[in-house]
Structure formats: structure tokens, C-alpha cells
């Protein structure tokens, strides 16, 4: 059974009416945390925010950034049809990985994007990556390049989902360890989240949804901990 691990928390706060709270009066259960004001980038709170740790499905905010970038560049459109290869399709049978059923084997970018953002569907993220870059490996290379562009040099990125490589079988990034996972610091995640919100604010129209539909089925948000904080991407780990 999956459980929420309070290991890393990133908060992007909107607006200017921010209450003043001293560090002595405020704390969070997460081991690593940061709160950032979206417009200015001002750090409002941090707790061991520079140590790189496993980020699980928080990975998908970087994946989604590159999807929106491809949409902006015209490489794909929301109505573009995406064929589901055997790799993401077979992953939908793994009960340990968050997913949506993909029996149709063909969905639009819009459907897959919403499934990725609302229910953290791993196969949807992989399918989008394969559509944009040709393979998950090549998409991961794009992810790594984007992080370097933003000055993030302490990252470990080996897949588009945040799953442990053990879950992916023979589909892991060449040269990565069989049990390797993506790692970023809370500070790094804040940089990614702020860039996503600044460059593609339309993402908030999806992330604020408590439920959505995928191929006629109701799907539910995995942002359990912070209702009303649309920029938060909750991480699920075993």
C-alpha cells in the first residue's frame, strides 16, 4: 500500500498578503522544506532545503514543464494523438505505480497531460515523453539539460516519473543503477515549480482540480496534503 512520505515539501505561495510568522513559531513535519513567494522568488521559510533527496512523483513537474515547452514550440498540440507503446502500457498493470488504465492504446496529449497532473499517472508521463523525444532516455536528456540551464547541478534524474528503477525493469536509463531514483533538493524543486508557474500559468487550471476524467473514468488528485495549494506536487513512495 502506498503512503505519503513527508520527506520533502515545496510550497509556492501567491499574492502579497502573507502573514508574518517567526521561525520559532512555525515548522513542518517534512525533513526538507521550502516556501517561496511566486512573484518575487523570496524564500519565506526553509528547512534543510539544499540536500538532494529522493523526490518520487514530484519529478513530474519537470516532465510537465517540457511538455508545455513542446506545446509552445508547436512540436505537439493538445489534440495530438499519442500511441501507447508496450512499455507504458505494461506499467499500468503494476499496482505499485500510480496510473490510469490505457486499454485504448491511443490518447491525446491533453488527456495524458491531465492524467499526469491530477492523478500522477506514470504511464501517461512516459507516453508524453516518448511522443516528444522519441524515447524516455532522450527525454531524460532534455530534463537534465533544462536543469543545467536553470543552474541546478546537484540533480540525479534517471526517468520521467520518479519511480525507483526497480519498478521499470529493463526500461531504465542506460548506465543508471537498477535501484536508482531521481533526487533533487527542496530548493531545486522550488526553482522548477516557479519556472513552471511563471512560464505556463495555465498549469494551475489543472492542478487545482480535485477530480477529473480520463477516457470516461473519474480520476482523483494525489495532492493530499495541501488542499488549496495548487502549485504543490505531492510525492508518493512505498
Residue 21 CA to residue 111 CA, distance in Å, equals 41
Residue pair 2/156 in contact by the 8 Å Cβ criterion:
no
Measured CA to CA in angstroms, residue 58 lies from 22, 68, 79, 137 at distances of 28, 16, 25, 18
Cell of 217: 473514468
List 120, 123, 185, 221, catalytic entry = 120
Residue pair 166/179 in contact by the 8 Å Cβ criterion:
yes
List 7, 31, 42, 57, catalytic entry = 57
Question: What is the three-state SS of 30-50?
Answer: CCEEEEEECCCCCEEEEECCC
User: How many CB atoms are located within 10 Å of the residue 165 CB?
Assistant: 18
Cell of 41: 522568488
Annotated catalytic, 178?
Answer: no
Annotated catalytic, 57?
Answer: yes
Annotated catalytic, 120?
Answer: yes
Q: Is 108 helix (H, G, I), strand (E, B) or coil?
A: strand
Nearest alpha carbon to residue 55 among 76, 90, 30, 38: 30
List 60, 131, 137, 183, catalytic entry = 60
- Main-chain phi, psi angles of 47, to 5 degrees: -145, 110
**C-alpha neighbours within 13 Å on the C-beta side of residue 31:** 9
Give catalytic residues, as residue numbers: 57, 60, 120
Amino acid at each position: 500500500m502506498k503512503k505519503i512520505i513527508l520527506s520533502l515539501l515545496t510550497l509556492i505561495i501567491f499574492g502579497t498578503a502573507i502573514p508574518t510568522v517567526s521561525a520559532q513559531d512555525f515548522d513542518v513535519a517534512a525533513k526538507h522544506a521550502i516556501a517561496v513567494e511566486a512573484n518575487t522568488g523570496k524564500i519565506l521559510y526553509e528547512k534543510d532545503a539544499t540536500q538532494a533527496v529522493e523526490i518520487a512523483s514530484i519529478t513530474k513537474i519537470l516532465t510537465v514543464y517540457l511538455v508545455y515547452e513542446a506545446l509552445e514550440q508547436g512540436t505537439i498540440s493538445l489534440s495530438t494523438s499519442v500511441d501507447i507503446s508496450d512499455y507504458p502500457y505494461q506499467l499500468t498493470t503494476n499496482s505499485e505505480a500510480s496510473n490510469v488504465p490505457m486499454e485504448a492504446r491511443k490518447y491525446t496529449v491533453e488527456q495524458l497531460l491531465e492524467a499526469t497532473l491530477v492523478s500522477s499517472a506514470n504511464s501517461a508521463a512516459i507516453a508524453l515523453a516518448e511522443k516528444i523525444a522519441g524515447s524516455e532516455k532522450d527525454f531524460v536528456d532534455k530534463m537534465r539539460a533544462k536543469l543545467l540551464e536553470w543552474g541546478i547541478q546537484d540533480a540525479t534524474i534517471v526517468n520521467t516519473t520518479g519511480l525507483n528503477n526497480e519498478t521499470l525493469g529493463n526500461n531504465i536509463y542506460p548506465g543508471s543503477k537498477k535501484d536508482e531514483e531521481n533526487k533533487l533538493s527542496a530548493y531545486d524543486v522550488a526553482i522548477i515549480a516557479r519556472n513552471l508557474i511563471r512560464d505556463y500559468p495555465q498549469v494551475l487550471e489543472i492542478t487545482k482540480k480535485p477530480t477529473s476524467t480520463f477516457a470516461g473514468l473519474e480520476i482523483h488528485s494525489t495532492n493530499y496534503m495541501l488542499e488549496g495549494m495548487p502549485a504543490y506536487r505531492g510525492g508518493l513512495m512505498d
